[in-house]
Every structure is written in structure tokens, then in C-alpha cells.
Amino acid sequence: MSTAQDTIGGEAEPWEEVTPDAARRLLVAAVEAFAERGYHATTTRDIASRAGMSPAALYIHYKTKEELLHRISRIGHDRALDILRTAARGEGTAAARLADAVSSFVRWHAVRRTTARVVQYELDALGPDARAEIVALRREVNAEVSGILEDGVASGEFDVIDVRGTTLAILSLCVDVARWFNVHGTRTPEEVGELYADLVLRMVGAAK
């Protein structure tokens, strides 16, 4: 297991930082509802019902539905950034670090596909301040991948003309896994991660 993959261990309790238990249950219910119905079609009553609580109980822990989405999005983006930062700052060649980053990022999007769908595709539902905060985190995510690509170009490992565009392509590939991955499919999250890492190394012209 790679260093970056170690970062996404402990996935059995993905919201352990959310306390108390009632707040965690509401957040988990919101993730499920937003992923299934979309943010705008989900009501606070839907969320409370999934959590086995009354609608009034939700407002004890979250002032608005948007506050729930913001909390989910913030935690998810922090984890995504941590995965990529761990890989980017690890030991080894640029090619090894890029492969680690991609395989770990893909694995997270496969294993946490429900959360990832909300985190990646409900950004526009956030208000201006919350959205600006998440956009800033996305810039940091981009910067970690761009940094690896720039290292690889500088060392002669990669043949990349457009680092910014290639960064966007790589992250788009990884993020889309949350949309299509099926736990009952023919590939495991680890296998998909390895496949995508190989595809990305070919994309950047890394020597085999």
C-alpha cells in the first residue's frame, strides 16, 4: 500500500470528526439524500427522516441545509487535498509520485463514491462565501498535481506541453470515477486505481 493510500485508511468511520453522534447521523443522512436526489430536491424533512429524527432536531445542529452541504464539502475536499499532498510530497521520482497520487485519488472516489458525488458535483448549490472557500481548496488540489507534473517535466520524465490543461484532464478522469463506479462491477477500487495510474503515466509520456 502506498503512502498516500495510507492516508485514506480508517474509511469505516468516514465522519469520525463530526460530533456529537446526532450531528454525525444527520450529516450521513444528508450525504445519502443529496447523492440520491440532488441538493435542491432534498428537504430538511428528508434528511431528518433518514436520520430517524424530527425536523426540529436538525436545526439544533445545523442552521440550514446549506450548512450541512458546506460541512460535507469542506471535509471531503480536505481529505482529497490530503491524499494528493501526501503523494506529491512523498519520496521517489515524479512518475512514482504521480502514480501514487492518481491511484489513491481514484481509490477514494471509488470507495467513497456517494460522498464524492456530493463533494464534486454540488458545488454550485453553495452560497458565495462557502463556494469561494471550496474553490480555494480546489485550487490547492490542482496545485499539487501541477507541481508533480512540473517536477517531471523539469527532470525529463514527462513530455507535457500544457501543464495546466493536463492537470485538469487528470483530475477530471479521477473525479468521474465517483459517477460510474459500481461496487458489484468487475473491478475493485484498487484495480481501477492501478489502471488509471497507468493511463495517466502514458498520457504524460512517462518512460516504461
And the C-alpha cell for 206?
512517462
Dist CA 118 CA 205 (whole Å): 33
Per-residue model confidence (pLDDT) at position 6: 36
Dist CA 42 CA 3 (whole Å): 37
Assess contact for 118 and 125: CB atoms under 8 A: no
Per residue in 103-125, pLDDT (tens digit) is 999 999 999 999 999 999 999 99
pTM of the model: 0.87
End-to-end Cα separation, the chain, in angstroms: 21
Assess contact for 98 and 204: CB atoms under 8 A: yes
Q: Write the CA distances from 72 to 33, 47, 66, 90, integer angstroms.
A: 12, 14, 10, 27
* Mean pLDDT, rounded, of the chain: 90
